[in-house]
A and B are shown apart, each in its own frame.
Chain A
Amino acid sequence: MAKEKSKKSQLSKEKMLHMHRLMLDIRNFDSRVNHLVKKGVIPGMTHFSIGEEAANVGAIAAINAGSDLITSNHRGHGQSIALEIDLNGMMAEIMGKATGTCKGKGGSMHIADLDGGNLGANGIVGGGMGMAVGAALTQKMKKTGNIVLCCFGDGACNEGTFHETLNMASIWKLPVIFYSINNMYGISTPIKDVINVDYNYQRACAYGIPGHFIEDGNDLLAVYNKFEEIVQYVREGNGPVLVETVTYRWLGHSTSDPGKYRTKKEVDEWKKKDPIDRFKNWLLENKVATAKEIEALENASLAAVEESEKFALSSPEPTLESAFEDIFADYFFSASIK
């Protein structure tokens, strides 16, 4: 970590401040959603990215927004925000409103932004892996030069689809990064209890692909710098990569989690490794930004989240008719001769 901190970054000030802003947006957005769940304003199931901001922003900031693609998982708020989804639409979606990203039909676990390159969060653990491989197949067949970042948790590595998709991506040399954001628990089950290797990235050798480990997933620049390397390798047509980082979710698995499987001490220890505080201090220590500039970012982020809440609260409910819409795409039946 110290090594990464002292490393001279090639990043522009503008990009670094923007990454900080995205981490703030994740923190503020999810804090607000959590508050609204407790107030009963948000009825549905939500999973928070608080604590995992650097793991999300560091990786996604290294791909080309607008042309590269991601697949996300049930804990996808952080990934959607890192790919700069419209916060108003996302908050409205989580409130189930007609103006939501998915017209109120998807909710927290199905946030998608196809125009922005987000092929969607997924309510099925490992559900995005096949989709990511297929999206990467399209990039290869159409020779677009774009890559796919497939985000999932440590728990997904024990799904059968992990094995099948890594193997398929490997034999076809597809441009896809399999990214395991290891927050150490699958709901309550410690990952150490359900795998017999130290880390899932070590499984990469079984598929003949590189496995990378970013030990400190709360160090934004460590994540970003490693991802820059990996993205270049994959974009050059060398095939897929498995990469894992370790981070921690501060809150429960979802909004109904008594948290009996971990100690307060453990949670507090991780809060001391707050990715946002750490990057803020780094920016100040390295004189990248002034306290005033950072405060302005913090205020702007809070204002944007507040605005999203206002937008969502004042948005209409979907019509009942809309429940029967959007099941099928239009059929283009170009000719018909019986």
Chain B
Amino acid sequence: MENNRKIMSVRDAIILAMSEEMRRDENVFLMGEDVGIFGGDFATSVGMIEEFGKERVRDTPISENAISGAAIGAAMTGMRPIVDVTFMDFIVYMMDNIVNQAAKTRYMFGGKGQIPVVFRAAAGGGVGSAAQHSQSLEAWFTHIPGLKVIAPGTPADVKGLLKAAIRDNNPVIFLEYKAQYNMKGEVPLDPDFLLPIGKADIKKVGKDVTVITYGRMLERVIQAANEVEEAEGVSVEVVDLRTLAPLDKEAVIESVKKTGKVLLVNDAHKTGGFIGEVAAMIAESDAFDYLDGRILRLAGEDVPIPYNQTLEAAMIPNVERIKKYILKLVNNR
């Protein structure tokens, strides 16, 4: 079973992960707008209502506040809800329940109670959906103690981490990238395939430069790393954070110490973005002494995402710009 793998899309990996966990544990259920007969606004629950019924694949009113509150209340009393937030932009309507309730309840109650809930949010742009449907808002949540934040970038990581998130006893914000639901890759079929939350993954071993990234940008970073290596003979190490909170500081520090050069890439806006936090952590750590260049960030521009596809694409890091930044570091420019 362990070696049994299949090529599938991120979308199918999500459906498989949720379905396996729902078969395993009757307390797990999915709720959200259009998750039922429609199969999810991003088709991430197609076929599930047929298998699990409408009680456990629960269509909701367009009421993000009530959806998130009800999910938390259900989680506090023994269920393990998965919320399909659909567009991450709509999570703004859920902020009180996630930030003031879910993240703090256990702490405020002196360690009593637990809130095993997963908020699956479709982040990022790339599909021409403009400023209110294209944001990657992970930094708002990594700022709040009590939340776990996961942003995987491959179908296998999506499966292993979503399953781990569902089994976790804490509130988890799980980023999916709407531009990558169709991205394919090899996925383990073992229903007990889980990945550890809080562990980064070295997606490519290298010795000259470290590039730290997560989520949607992983694919582009790997492509850029391979192209730079081939064309310029630069050996790039790619650190895929996968989990933003808790952050795998050791993996980051170890890689930076090894290469002495670091570039951080994410698709979210640059100002206040999560990679800024990682950069600060590196600067404060003993890895600083190993640096022989500036710490560089390459992020989404500080503009609302424009509708025009050419403009939108120009606002988000692409392979060419990632390559340029890698070479900038290597050449100490």
Give chain A's interface residues, CB within 8 Å of chain B: 69, 71, 100-106, 110, 112, 114, 119-120, 122-124, 127, 129-139, 141-142, 160-161, 164-165, 167-168, 171, 325-338
Contact = CB atoms under 8 A, between A and B. Distances in A.
Given A330-B169, A335-B192, A135 B76 contact: yes
25 contacts: A102-B112, A112-B112, A114-B76, A120-B113, A124-B96, A130-B101, A133-B66, A134-B69, A134-B72, A134-B73, A134-B81, A141-B74, A142-B78, A161-B66, A161-B96, A167-B61, A327-B145, A327-B146, A328-B169, A331-B169, A334-B192, A336-B195, A337-B2, A337-B188, A338-B195
Contacts of B65: 130, 160-161, 164-165
Contact of B74 (A114, A134, A325): A134
Interface string B86-107: 0000000000110011000111
A253 to B, nearest CB: 20
B179 to A, nearest CB: 27
Given A106-B108, A131-B69, A327-B146, A138 B170 contact: no
Interface range on chain B (Cβ under 8 Å from partner) = 35 or more
A337 B106 contact: no
Contact of A114 (B71, B72, B109, B148): B109
Contacts of B139: none
B233 interface: no
B74 A138 contact: yes
Contact of B109 (A69, A106, A164, A167): A106
B183 interface: no
Given A141-B79, A331-B197, A333-B164, A131 B169 contact: no
A232 to B, nearest CB: 22
Interface in B1-54: 2, 29
B158 interface: no
Given A112-B113, A134-B75, A141 B70 contact: no
Closest 5 CB pairs of A and B: A130-B69, A134-B73, A326-B111, A103-B110, A164-B66
Contacts of B271: none
Interface of B: 2, 29, 55, 60-61, 63, 65-79, 81, 96-97, 100-101, 105-116, 145-146, 148, 164, 167-170, 188, 190, 192-197
Interface centre among B2, B97, B116, B193 (most CB of A within 10 A): B97
Contacts of A333: 164, 167-168, 194, 196
Nearest to A103: B110
Given A105-B110, A120-B105, 7 more contacts: A114-B109, A124-B96, A165-B70, A167-B66, A327-B107, A337-B188, A338-B195
B76 A328 contact: no
A329 B67 CA distance: 22
B188 A137 contact: no
B71 A134 contact: yes
A131 B101 contact: yes
Given A124-B96, A134-B71, A141-B55, A337 B193 contact: yes
A161 B113 CA distance: 23
Contacts of A104: 110
A127 B75 contact: no
A329 B103 CA distance: 11
Nearest to B145: A327
A325 B72 contact: no
Given A114-B109, A127-B96, A141 B101 contact: no
